[in-house]
Structure 1
Amino acid sequence: MVKELSRLKTESRNPNSMNLSEMPTTGILKTINKEDKKVAAAVEDVLPFVERAVELVFESLKNGGRLFYVGAGTSGRLGVMDASECPPTFMTPPEMVQTVMAGGKGAFTNAVEGSEDDEEQAILEMKAKNLKQNDVVVGITASGRTPFPIGALKYANKAGAKTISLSCNRDSEISRLADCPIEVLVGPEVLTGSTRMKAATAHKMILNMISTTVMVKLGKVHENLMVDLHASNHKLKERAKSILMELTDITYQEAQTVLEEAQWKVKPAIVMVEAKVNLREALKAIEQNDGYVGEAIQFARLNT
């Protein structure tokens, strides 16, 4: 086991930080920062694979499927962060993007020792999700050899779901189980084996890319604005007003009035203003055009 780990780049010693414990504060910070700069370049190298992952997820969600992130420790926490932001940002139902984390929900804040090694538990967790062919499972593991996400991908393949792997080592074990393997090679960590650093940064960037790009393609973004945000608090209501004002050139008070009429949903509010239609007509236009705002505006103008 020790020999096997030593061959992994994520477990190797970084020659640029060999004297980390003797460095002054400035030296430690500069060393970390210099290594962090390599992450974006490593992500750039795998963009063709990320694109393939996006297309798999897009086709899945467009056809009623679900997206599951599966990981242990930091990898699972990254999945939780990305999945939990989808409902407020894109008004997705909670079941659309989910995370299955080794050790359960409690492991998000407290380490559950040994849970990452339980391949059978991952299989049980995925069975409970009743996977369908339209679903996509993303196994996240910096090393590429963590049993929990590996077990999840094994079961997902048997269930006929699409599979994506996200690791930081070349020719990793989990890659062999994935329809779309992504191996982002960030190299050894400043602190040997601490994959919460560069590896986690790279994985967070890629998860953000996948979810954001998929939501853009699903029509949940217009131009570069969150037109499907869930305006559930004061800050988000103010953002909703700002978006409506930006796109339609109406006043702050007019935006307030229209959004109240639209039950604080930005998409129908935009269509109402731009096409000069009521809420019912705006909602019909949005439904007829699969949620795409530009097309809904044109439809409403031509059909009312």
Structure 2
Amino acid sequence: MTTETPSEYNNLESLPTAAILAGMNQLDQTVPLAVAKALPQLEKLVEVTVTRLQAGGRLFYIGAGTSGRLGVVDASECPPTFGVPAGLVVGIMAGGDGAIRQAVEGAEDNETQAWLDLQQFSANEKDVLVGIAASGRTPYVIGGLQAARAAGLATGCVVCNAGSAVAAACEWPVEVVTGPEFLTGSTRLKAGTAQKLVLNMLTTATFIRLGRVRGNKMVDMQLSNEKLVERGQRMLMDELGIAQAEAAELLRAHGSVRAALLARQ
């Protein structure tokens, strides 16, 4: 596993701060290039996700540690960004929600728990399951993907090693080979960055394809704070060529940017 191979940097404790930061930054610049190589795989996963969601399915993430937390973060950001229901994209973490803040020892080694966790949401053949595992060998993720695939769910993954057991367990693997970490084996670094980029693209591309974006604007975003209300007003001002006062009134009257735009068409 290249994510576990020794760092190209050594004697880290003897390096000055500037050298530590420069070394990490140099390695981080390789991540987008690794993601670019996986775009054809990611395209296939996006297409099947769009198809399943159009048919009434949902997108689930499973993972452990950093990988699981990234899935939870991506899922939690979809409702405010795209105005979709909270249950449409769901992040499930080995060890439960408590593991988001504090590691639960051994949770990732349970091969059967992920499918049990998914059954709390009545996961079925309409849905998509994406396993996230930098190593590509996490038993929680492998077992979940195998059970989900047998049950008819569409299955994909995001891994950072080639030829992994996680990739073999699913139909649409996305393999972003990020190589050795600055700190040997610390996959919260480059591998975690790569996973975040891929998840960003997966849900953003999916919801663009599902009509949740107009032009380049988040017209279905939830207006949950002053910043977002002001952003919504700017969208209306740009799209309709109106003053802020009128945009604010339109937004108050219709409750969303999309509804306000439709009302003026």
* 2:257 alignment partner AA: V
How far off its partner does 1:133 sit?
A: 1.7
Aligned with 2:261 (options 270, 277, 299)? 270
Q: Which moved more, 1:47-56 or 1:230-239?
A: 230-239
2-structure distance, mates of 1:224, 1:58: 19
Partner of 1:108: 100
Partner of 1:256: 248
Question: Does 1:232 find its partner at 2:229?
Answer: no
Partner of 2:7: 14
SS at 1:119's partner residue?
coil
2-structure distance, mates of 1:247, 1:207: 29
SS at 1:79's partner residue?
helix
Q: For 1:224-268, what per-residue CA distance to the aligned partner results, in whole angstroms no more than 9, with x for missing partners?
A: 110000112211111111111111111111111111111x21111
- Unaligned ranges ≥5, structure 2: none
Question: Does 1:54 find its partner at 2:54?
Answer: no
Using the size of structure 1 for normalisation, the TM-score is: 0.86
Q: Does structure 2 retain, via aligned residues, the 8 Å contact 1:131–1:159?
A: no
**Structure with bigger RCO (C-alpha 8 Å, 6+ apart):** 2
2-structure distance, mates of 1:180, 1:132: 18
* 1:90 alignment partner AA: F
Partner of 2:141: 149
SS at 1:226's partner residue?
coil
Partner of 1:193: 185
Partner of 2:68: 76
Aligned with 1:168 (options 160, 169, 175)? 160
Partner of 1:89: 81
* 2:256 alignment partner AA: K
SS at 2:157's partner residue?
strand
Question: Does 1:39 find its partner at 2:31?
Answer: yes
How far off its partner does 1:129 sit?
A: 2.3
How far off its partner does 1:141 sit?
A: 0.4
Question: Does 1:205 find its partner at 2:197?
Answer: yes
Q: Does structure 2 retain, via aligned residues, the 8 Å contact 1:12–1:188?
A: yes
Q: Which has the larger Rg? A: 1
Q: Does structure 2 retain, via aligned residues, the 8 Å contact 1:60–1:135?
A: yes
Q: Does structure 1 retain, via aligned residues, the 8 Å contact 2:73–2:91?
A: no
Aligned-pair Cα RMSD in Å = 0.9
Partner of 2:150: 158
Q: State the number of aligned residues.
A: 265
1-structure distance, mates of 2:19, 2:165: 36
* 2:260 alignment partner AA: A
How far off its partner does 1:35 sit?
A: 0.3
Greater helix percent: which structure? 1
How far off its partner does 1:127 sit?
A: 2.5
Using the size of structure 2 for normalisation, the TM-score is: 0.98
2-structure distance, mates of 1:155, 1:236: 40
* 1:122 alignment partner AA: A
Q: Does structure 2 retain, via aligned residues, the 8 Å contact 1:126–1:155?
A: no
- Unaligned ranges ≥5, structure 1: 1-7, 276-304
Partner of 1:134: 126
Q: For 1:82-138, what per-residue CA distance to the aligned partner results, in whole angstroms no more than 9, with x for missing partners?
A: 000011111110110001100100110111111011112112112222222220000
* 1:271 alignment partner AA: L
1-structure distance, mates of 2:225, 2:18: 41
Q: Which moved more, 1:230-239 or 1:204-213?
A: 230-239
How far off its partner does 1:60 sit?
A: 1.2
